[in-house]
Homo-oligomer: A and B are copies of this chain.
Amino acid sequence: MAQKLDPWKSSENLDYSKLFDEFGISPFADVLPQIKNPHKFMRRGVIFGHRDFESIVSALNDKKPYVVLDGFMPTGKAHFGHKMVMDQIVWYQQNGAKAVVGIADREAHSVRNLSWEECKRIGVEEYLISLIALGLEPENARLYFQSECEAVKDLAFELGIHVNSSELSAIYGFSGETKLSHMVSTVTQGADILHSQLLEFEGPIPVVVPVGADQDPHIRLTRGVASKMNMFLIEKRTDKDNKPYWSVRGKDAPENAFELMDKRLKSEIPNVKTKVSKEHMDIFSDMSAGNEETLRAVVQEIELELGGYAFIAPASTYHRFMSGLTGGKMSSSIPESNIALTEDPKAAAKKVMKSKTGGRTTVEEQKELGGEPDKCSVFELFVFHLIDDDDELCQIQNDCQSGKILCGECKKKAADKIEAFLTDHQEKRKIARERLCEFGINY
| A51, CB-defined interface residue at 8 Å | no
Please give the count of copies of this chain that the complex contains. 2
Asked if residues B157 and A179 are in contact (CB atoms below 8 Å), the reply is no
Do residues A180 and B153 form an inter-chain contact, with CB atoms below 8 A? Answer: no
> How many angstroms from the CA of A175 to the CA of B164 in the assembled complex?
9
Q: Chain A interface mostly helix, strand, loop or mixed?
A: helix
Other-chain residue from B154, B160, B165 in contact with A165 (beta carbon distance below 8 A): B165
Task: For A307, list chain B residues within 8 Å (CB).
Answer: 115
Contact B160 A169 (CB under 8 A): no
What 8 pairs between A and B have smallest CB-CB spacing? A166-B176, A160-B181, A160-B180, A161-B181, A110-B161, A163-B180, A164-B179, A164-B177
Contact pattern, A 144-172, Cβ under 8 Å of B = 1, otherwise 0: 00010010011001101111111011000
Instruction: Check: A376 CB closer than 8 A to any chain B CB.
Output: no
Write the A284-316 contact mask toward B (1 if CB under 8 angstroms, else 0).
Answer: 000000000000000000000001000000000
Contact call B154/A168, Cβ cutoff below 8 A: no
Could you tell me the distance between the alpha carbons of A158 and B161 in the complex, rounded to whole angstroms? 19
How many angstroms between the C-alpha atoms of A187 and B181 in the bound complex?
A: 10
User: Within the assembled complex, what's the spacing in Å between the Cα atoms of A150 and B157?
Assistant: 13
Is there contact, CB below 8 Å, between B184 and A164? no
* Residue A174 is within 8 A (CB to CB) of chain B in the complex: yes
Please report A residues at the B interface, Cβ cutoff 8 Å.
106, 109-110, 115, 147, 150, 153-154, 157-158, 160-166, 168-169, 174-184, 187, 307
Nearest CB of chain B from residue A108's CB, rounded to whole Å = 12
CA distance A213 to B166 in the complex (A): 30
Q: Write out the residue numbers on chain B whose beta carbons fall within 8 Å of the beta carbon of A165.
A: 165, 174-176, 178, 180, 183
What would 14 A/B residue contacts be, using CB atoms closer than 8 Å?
Answer: A109-B161, A110-B161, A153-B153, A158-B181, A163-B179, A164-B176, A164-B177, A164-B178, A164-B179, A165-B165, A168-B180, A180-B183, A180-B184, A184-B184
- Contact call A157/B187, Cβ cutoff below 8 A: no
Most chain B CB within 10 A, of A169, A178, A180, is at A180
The complex places the Cα of A184 from the Cα of B156 at a distance, in Å, of 11
Seed contacts A110-B160, A165-B183, A180-B187; 19 additional CB < 8 Å A-B pairs? A106-B157, A110-B161, A147-B154, A157-B184, A160-B180, A160-B181, A160-B183, A160-B184, A161-B179, A161-B181, A161-B182, A162-B179, A164-B177, A164-B178, A164-B180, A165-B175, A165-B176, A180-B183, A184-B184
Question: Which residues of B have CB within 8 Å of A179?
Answer: 160-164
The interface residues of chain B lying within 8 Å CB-to-CB of A166 are: 176-177
When distances are taken between beta carbons in the complex, the residues of chain B under 8 Å from A161 are: 109-110, 179-182
Chain B nearest CB: distance from A331 CB in Å? 26
Known pairs A150-B150, A165-B165; A157 contacts B181 (CB<8 A): yes
Please name all residues of chain B whose beta carbon is closer than 8 Å to the beta carbon of A109 when the two chains form the complex. 161
Report the minimum CB–CB distance from A318 to chain B (whole Å).
26
User: In the complex, which residue of chain B has the Cβ closest to the Cβ of A177?
Assistant: B164
- Tell me how far the C-beta of A253 lies from the nearest C-beta in chain B, rounded to whole angstroms: 13
Chain B residues with CB under 8 A of A158: 181
* Distance of A168 Cα from B177 Cα, bound (Å): 11
A333-B242 Cα distance, complex, nearest whole Å? 50
The chain B residue sitting closest to A183, CB to CB, is B180
B181 engages A176 (CB within 8 Å): no
Inter-chain contacts of A106 with B (CB < 8 A): 157
In the complex, the chain B residue whose C-beta lies closest to that of A188 is B157
Chain B residues within an 8 Å CB radius of A175: 165
CA distance A160 to B180 in the complex (A): 5
Q: Which residues of B contact A178 (CB under 8 A)?
A: 164-165
Chain B residues with CB under 8 A of A160: 110, 179-181, 183-184
Smallest CB-CB separation from A147: which chain B residue? B154
**Nearest CB of chain B from residue A80's CB, rounded to whole Å:** 32
Complex CA gap A109/B147 in Å reads: 22
Give the residues in chain B near A115, CB-CB below 8 Å: 307
Q: What separation, in Å, do the CA atoms of A329 and B313 have in the docked complex?
A: 47
How many angstroms from the CA of A178 to the CA of B307 in the assembled complex? 26
- Rounded to whole angstroms, the CA-CA distance of A174 and B169 in the bound complex is 14
Which residues of B are found within 8 Å of A147, using beta-carbon distances?
154
